[in-house]
Structure 1
Amino acid sequence: MQPRNRRKPAITITETDYDRLSNLAAARTQRSPELAISLAEEIDRARIVSDTAISPSIVRMGSTVTYVADNKDSKTVTLVYPVDANIEDGRISVTTPVGSALIGLKAGQTIDWTAPNGQRHELKVLEVSQTKHPALAE
């Protein structure tokens, strides 16, 4: 099933996530230009709020997210920076297509995203929790 083309949903990210993700996208420009552009486009369309003003229902770095893609089985992952990614442990990098699609969404929102092979997918966030993974502690 191909998702319908629709406008991307409004997203919200914290000032800290915006700064760190902007730096990450800039650092990846030479090595992974498509990835850098995709991530930059996502964060550039976001509403930026202070770290203390963001709702706990919004996906941010370190969030644990349950989502469903293309109306298949749900998956639960923790959104992390590339260095902390480990798919076997359920830690997905924000630099993956799914990771960059998730950032800034809130429970109940749906987004269409395109895989590297050009196939379009639909992703819906079911639940968000803010249990911070130890690898993300500062």
Structure 2
Amino acid sequence: MDPNSKEILLTKEGYKKIEDELEMLKTVMRKEVAERIKEAISFGDISENAEYDEAKNEQAKVEERILKLENMLRKAKIIKEEDIEADIVTVGSIVKVKDFDFDEEMEYTIVGSAEADPYDNKISNESPVGSALIGMKKGDEIEVNVPDGTARFKILDIRR
């Protein structure tokens, strides 16, 4: 299978977030950058015009991001809530675990890699911890190889 055609798992929330960003880029950012280019051209000679170069670089970044988001939406598979098993960890599950190394409880939402946001406790199903949790049940204990060594967790609760 072509790695570029790999489907991207998203929650409804993640899909909507990508749609919203795409809409903003197409309707707001494109116009803003076009105005900056137009303004820079009005300054005259564009061969030595830093404003023009900067605006063109910004335009390229915006267009690249638009293409990336459109591609993500094309490949997206939305995880439906009814597809999330209540007693087994899957993508879309919210998992409460006890971290034995730090002696604390953590709650993670398992998401596709496009939606991962460790600062918001959304971990990818492809990350070391996320992939180790997939398929586990309440009460299971796992050991995961992480960059700092080995982490140990016990699954306390699973919900959707």
Normalising by structure 2, we get a TM-score of 0.45
CA distance in 2, matches of 1:114, 1:54: 26
Say which of 100, 113, 138 aligns to 1:82.
113
CA distance in 2, matches of 1:100, 1:108: 17
Q: CA deviation at 1:88?
A: 2.2
Asked if residue 129 in structure 1 is aligned to residue 155 in structure 2, the reply is: no
Letter in 1 for 2:138: A
Query: Which structure: larger Rg?
Result: 2
Q: CA deviation at 1:55?
A: 5.0
CA distance in 1, matches of 2:86, 2:129: 20
Identity %: 32
CA contact (8 A) 2:84 2:90 kept: no
Seen in structure 2, the aligned counterparts of structure 1 residues 80 and 55 have a Cα distance that, compared at 3 Å, is closer
CA distance in 2, matches of 1:75, 1:54: 20
CA distance in 1, matches of 2:124, 2:150: 19
Q: How does 1:6-85 map to 2 (within 5 A)?
A: 56-70=86-100, 72-85=103-116
Relative contact order (C-alpha < 8 Å, sep 6+): which is higher? 1
More helix by share: 2
Counterpart of 1:60 in 2: which secondary structure?
A: coil
Letter in 2 for 1:120: T
Normalising by structure 1, we get a TM-score of 0.51
Letter in 2 for 1:60: T
